[in-house]
Amino acid sequence: MQRRSFIRNTTLGAIAVSTSGFIFFNGKQYVGDCETTSDILGPYYRPNSPIRNNFIIKGEKGTPVELSGIIKHDDCTTPYKKAKVELWHCSGSGEYDNTSDEYRYRGTTFTDDKGNYSFNTILPVPYLAAPDYWRPAHFHLMITAEGYQPLVTQLYFSGDTHISGDPYAASPNSKRRILDVQTKPDGSKRVSFDVSMAVKLAVEPAAIDKLAGTYANEKDSKDISELFVKDKLLWIKNSVFGEDLEYVGNNLFHYPGLPAGMVGTLLFEMSAGGGIKYTSTFSDEKGAMQTAVYIKTK
């Protein structure tokens, strides 16, 4: 087991301890190292989806499929009871329901005593996300389990020709999440995905509360960003809801799940008078850097 301890930080006043995945010998073989990898949250997450696991909509096109699996503790074996599992995806026409009260193709369920979860829905389809850029078909999952960092991930499907051109799906971290669509004896479709949770680096909640608020670009007051707290994580607001940020220490947060070679960070500073600002830094695959400073206004 690897353990990293982070001592009290003079600016955020936080203590955080992280325990990563581990490998052990069970008497027959080495097991472990089973943490499920994260992926981009994407711009279409909506909180508070209805408690349901049947997304089938009469009259809508799409291939029915069952998505099911087991949520496990970080020992890779013990089932996690009552883990919260959120699923969302596009329709058979490649569209997300971002506004309606129906929350189409969105829902929340909880695992049973054996860690099982299941959804009855349709297979999502690839869609054109930008000119000349197709996103492969994918499910979005967010799993929340007390004692673990909420896991945001995406599931892709074997044989999708758009995977190779997508920097997220083509990442080495996604290999275990490119899944076969199985055909059951009755002819129906099934996708199976088990999840092993892991403890992630976290910021002390009081520190996150201090960081939440409205920030303005110091060079352009019309350029506003809003940071808020959900499930003890720091999020940055977007047009639909927001994207979660991963704390990596020393007042630095990363955008998780960016393609290999790309970096996105927020580095916070706190003045003696209590003012807070952050420097946003992004780099592309070629290493070109863009930075901006945002100052908290409220």
The per-residue pLDDT for range 169-194, each reduced to its tens digit, is 888 878 889 999 999 888 889 999 99
Neighbours of 45 (CB within 10 A): 23
Q: What is the pLDDT of residue 207?
A: 79
26 contacts 12 by C-beta, under 8 angstroms: no
Average pLDDT estimate for 70-91: 95
Domain range annotation of the chain? 21-196, 205-296
The per-residue pLDDT for range 228-260, each reduced to its tens digit, is 998 888 999 988 999 889 887 778 898 877 777
CA distance linking residue 278 with residue 297, whole number of Å: 12
Q: What is the pLDDT of residue 200?
A: 65
Fold of domain 21-196: Protocatechuate 3,4-Dioxygenase, subunit A (2.60.130)
- Mean pLDDT score of the chain, rounded to an integer? 84
User: Which pLDDT band, with edges at 50, 70 and 90, does 210 fall under?
Assistant: confident
Of the listed ranges 81-90, 164-173, 179-188, the one predicted with least confidence: 164-173
The per-residue pLDDT for range 6-54, each reduced to its tens digit, is 222 333 433 222 222 233 344 443 344 566 777 767 778 899 999 999 9
DSSP assignments along 174-189, one per residue:
GGGGEE--EE-TTS-E
Tokens of 264: 């996105």
Strand pairing category for 151-157 and 178-179: parallel
Task: Kindly give the residue spans of alpha helices, DSSP state H, lying in the chain.
Answer: 205-211
The per-residue pLDDT for range 125-147, each reduced to its tens digit, is 999 988 888 999 999 999 999 98
pTM of the model: 0.74
